Amino acid sequence: MNRPVIGVVPLFDSEKNSYWMIPGYMRGLEAAGALPVMLPLTTDRAEISQLAKLCGGILFTGGQDVSPAIYGEKASPLCGEICDDRDNMERELLRLAVGNDIPSLGICRGIQFMNAALGGSLYQDLPAEYPSQTDHHMSPPYDRVCHRVDIVKGTPLHELLKKDVLGVNSYHHQAVKRTANCLREMAYSEDGLTEAVYMPGRRFIWAVQWHPELSYQSDADSMAILSAFVSAAK
């Protein structure tokens, strides 16, 4: 059986000047029937175009904060480390994914980046800009429920999971503020933050704020999201 190739955006450690990867991204996609491949970090548009043509789907992973310059703001003192090479690479990857209808899934930073690159904006630091009693930065273990989200009826996520409320894990300090015009919300946290989005008119361009790659082994809904992504990439 030929498995669809999923290009996985690499994580980057600036102190060690090295690529790295959370195993759950790769193993979760493998369990869903894909052949995941970690992409090289490059800003060369010709190379990115070649990489995109090799992939049946693209996974936009977690990692550093998204540069506020992408959504027209200056970085606040509470904005974390930025990786310009990742931002530039992912901007071109996303352009190609949208233009060529390449199935794509964003996780954590992935939803933040996709929203910002497509014209939306972000909270640079939730505790400072969106204080709440909801815990968005949980402690281990990460495969447990941290808070709940309300799923919007009539959205692809609701059609997939067949439920109105979903328990999710959570580990982030930035979040979607203003949703890009081309995206639609699929879920909201208990305190009103956008937790999942999709792009109408494309086979599968979804993004979630939580981490299915850390919970797919114990949570059927996390596995269902990864499987839906892989199925779209076939």
Residue 173: active-site member: no
Active-site choice (79, 83, 108, 146): 108
In order, the DSSP letters of 11-72 are EEETTTTEEE--HHHHHHHHHTT-EEEEPP----HHHHHHHHHH-SEEEE---SBPPGGGGT
Residue 211: active-site member: yes
Residue that is written with structure tokens 């794509």 in the block? 104
CA dist 81 and 206 (Å) reads 25
CA dist 127 and 118 (Å) reads 25
Read off the tokens for 200: 């109408």
Residue 136: active-site member: no
CA atoms within 13 A on the CB side of 100: 18
Which residues are marked as active site? 108, 211, 213
